Structure 1
Amino acid sequence: MDSIFHEKQEGSLCAQHCLNNLLQGEYFTPVDLSSIAHQLDEEERMRMAEGGMASEEYRTFLQVREQSIYERLWQVISNALRVWGLEIILFNSREYQSLMINPINEKAFICNYKEHWFTIRKLGQQRLVCQCNKLGYSK
């Protein structure tokens, strides 16, 4: 590896920086991730509308549509990585435990701390932590 790519934090775009640092290049823009989020929203709205747009459940869904930023960003990150044929397996999930994966052998981790996304990954023989200088979101 000739050089290490690190996208510096700008604004509240830690999910974008997390993905680009993971993939080691400028692969995702805010527009790309916004498009994925919009697609997820539309798919969710269409599933909820299957029971009828006049139903109480659908009307409640439209009123309470706001989902936590953490949950929505997790879905956006997961869908963005599928474009590259990559799959996220939650560290504390049953699937992860059943696969008996040794974390030391993994190439990368996507982490969330206080609603801030960052990447920990191996580069060549080195391990690099790419963490932005400021939190993208705070409580």
Structure 2
Amino acid sequence: MRPTFGDYLKQLREAKGLTINDLAASAGISGSQISRIENGIRGVPKPVTLRKIAEATGVAYEELMDHAGYMQETKQSEEAIPAWATSKDKRDFRKMLEDDGELMFDGIPLDKEDRQRIKDVLTGLFWEAKQMNKRNKKPDDTEPKSGKQR
């Protein structure tokens, strides 16, 4: 059985040789908040708090997010391609996801986990837009248009 996040945090803190007050000071959060998390009084902390704890303990943010249960929430990828998608749709989708330019928010590069969340959202929006576009096409939209009037 996987330990609760509070149990995991306590084990992590103790393995790093930190007291509750040490961790609180390093992370910039209150000692009572850490105590409540470890004792199960407070649930899983928000991602922003997890980032502070990750920086204070030297543990990867993604690892804390995984232990907190956030990483299992949304895992959309190419397996989410709808059955109606054509080979051109799939090619367009792959091109969109493979464009791995550096993503930034407010001038700060996004980390791997944040980029993946954005890709997950874009995946859903891409397929929704494609499906809506297919529904809205009229049969005569596919005919080539000539400049001649009848």
* TM over 0.5, shorter chain: no
* Interval of TM-score (by shorter of Structure 1 and Structure 2): under 0.3
* Structure that is richer in helix per residue: 2
* Structure that is richer in strand per residue: 1
With the length of structure 1 as denominator, give the TM-score of the two structures.
0.27
Say which structure, 1 or 2, has more relative contact order (CA 8 Å, 6+ apart).
1
